[in-house]
Structure 1
Amino acid sequence: MQLDPPGGRLSSKLWTRQRDAADCVLNAFAMGRTRQQVIMPCGTGKTHLAVHIAHEITANCRGSFNLIGVRGVELG
């Protein structure tokens, strides 16, 4: 993913379900919850979602944001 220079927006878009998940995470952060967990099946864009959330949280901030981990679950 690349940033478009002037606006600093990500060039890729979230799917509807990813946007819904991102909105839930951002709302929970706004309510003061500092830890979030998003559970999605393999191949549905968890990393893509995490990058978008991190970008939205830090877009107007000079601090740092730590993404502790994103991991998938093997079935079978």
Structure 2
Amino acid sequence: MSVSESETEPELAMLDKGVPGTRPIVRVPPRGLRLTEGTDAILQSNIVGNPKPKIYWLFNGAPIRMSGPRIQMSYRG
């Protein structure tokens, strides 16, 4: 299995006080993974923007479900 795609979908909006938002910046791009079926995968990336970008992880072009007993999502910042 190779997971190497990510997609950001920024929402263009104005912040309070008329300050424009900033485009998403990929500080740390995701890395491709090769895994044996049944093993754990850790997908990491560092993407910033204002408003906060929405992040979607894809596998073979389809979104990975981000809920379930074996899935943990964390945000920093």
TM-score where L is the length of structure 1: 0.33
Larger radius of gyration: 2
Which structure features the higher share of helix residues?
A: 1
Q: Bigger relative contact order, structure 1 or 2, given CA contacts below 8 A and separation 6+? A: 2
